[in-house]
Amino acid sequence: MPVHHYTGLAGQSYDQPAQAGVLVVNLGTPDAPTAQALRPYLAEFLGDPRVIEYPRWLWRLILHGVILRLRPARSAHAYARVWTPEGSPLRVGSEKLAAALQARLDQAAAGPVRVALAMRYGKPSVGEQIEQMRRAGVRRLLVLPLYPQYSGTSTGSVIDAVADMLKQLRWPPELRIINSYHDDAGHIEALAQSIEHWWAEHGRADKLLLSFHGIPQRYVAAGDPYLHQCQVTTRLLGERLGLEASQLSMSFQSRVGREPWLQPYTDETVRRFAHEGVRRLDVACPGFAVDCLETLEEIAMQNAEFFTTAGGETLRYIPALNDSDAQVASLGALILQHGQGWPEFAVSDAP
């Protein structure tokens, strides 16, 4: 039988006061908008069995024999279109959100709560951040994947990464995971206010389209709740905004490969709207907490072009919540709610 070696902190003081930690996790990003940087990132992302549920031997042949030879260059071009002087929009936006949540909890929580940001793919990794938090004395860990709607391809993969790290530790911390927040009242209100503020500033389009990231249909058929949770978010947001069925639609973007994904597809939907006479179309992406390649390049650039080429006048992308006060307040309240019973998460008496 093999001997297991577990990681511990030799010589640590057990009298050290325990801390609570919040690990905020987003999808990840390459280090640079280059094919060289995209190759290892895509290998990690597309090599995750949660993302691609094919037989491993077959998928390795496809991934390393075909995809990683062709896709890095194409993806690098797309990333270059949205890359900023600060770096990747997803990384920069996620860092700002995590910093704002830290400031929020410093005021709202009764005890010290350490907030850290990890990326499921790329850097900093989930394992690296948990290790740093452990060395800082974190004994109670709350994990917040920045995916409002649960899918095994996203939140499920974060849970895998956390479990892979914790099972190596001699003394793992207490653990809680926010599985989803697709129907959280504070989150729905934050989304609604964001859209209303956009309309107040820019005017209202003929129709509002909510575009979610797609997943293969067979994942939903196998029991993934993602489609249902997207439908719930759409219904609650439509009710809060007072929209009729004809004013609001839902679609799914970012499909790859040849098998059927959740439908209707966003690119086909915006073209159909243009052909049906919709002149102005607003698109929001409630599945993305922070703006990224899929919102800034795929929606605001690619699909905007699809819409106008098909005869529409203008497609306007409504930005993600990012580090807005509304998102920080809603996620801060969600963290305090899920941390109930841990002393650090009691609501502070400070003004």
Cα–Cα dist 40/121, whole Å: 10
The total number of residues written for the chain in this structure: 351
The reply, when asked if residue 197 is annotated as ligand binding, is no
Which runs of E-coded beta strand occur in the chain?
Answer: 19-28, 113-121, 138-145, 174-177, 207-213, 248-253, 280-284, 314-317
Whether residue 18 contacts residue 101, with contact meaning beta carbons closer than 8 Å, is answered with: no
Q: Which amino acid is at 65?
A: G
Whether residue 315 contacts residue 270, with contact meaning beta carbons closer than 8 Å, is answered with: yes
Cα–Cα dist 144/142, whole Å: 7
Give the residues across from 210 on adjacent strands.
250, 284
Q: Is the peptide bond before 173 cis (omega within 30 degrees of 0)?
A: no
Cα–Cα dist 268/252, whole Å: 10
Residues 6+ apart with CB under 8 A from 223: none
Rounded to 5°, the CA angle 194-91-168 comes to: 120
Whether residue 303 contacts residue 270, with contact meaning beta carbons closer than 8 Å, is answered with: yes
Cα–Cα dist 261/150, whole Å: 16
Inter-helix orientation angle 89-108/325-338, to 10°: 60
Q: Tell me which residue of 241, 245, 213 sits closest to 229, measured CA to CA.
A: 213
Cα–Cα dist 177/223, whole Å: 20
Structural element, H or E, at residue 338: helix 325-338
The reply, when asked if residue 298 is annotated as ligand binding, is no
Known binding-site residues equal 213, 294
Known binding-site residues for Fe(2+) equal 213, 294
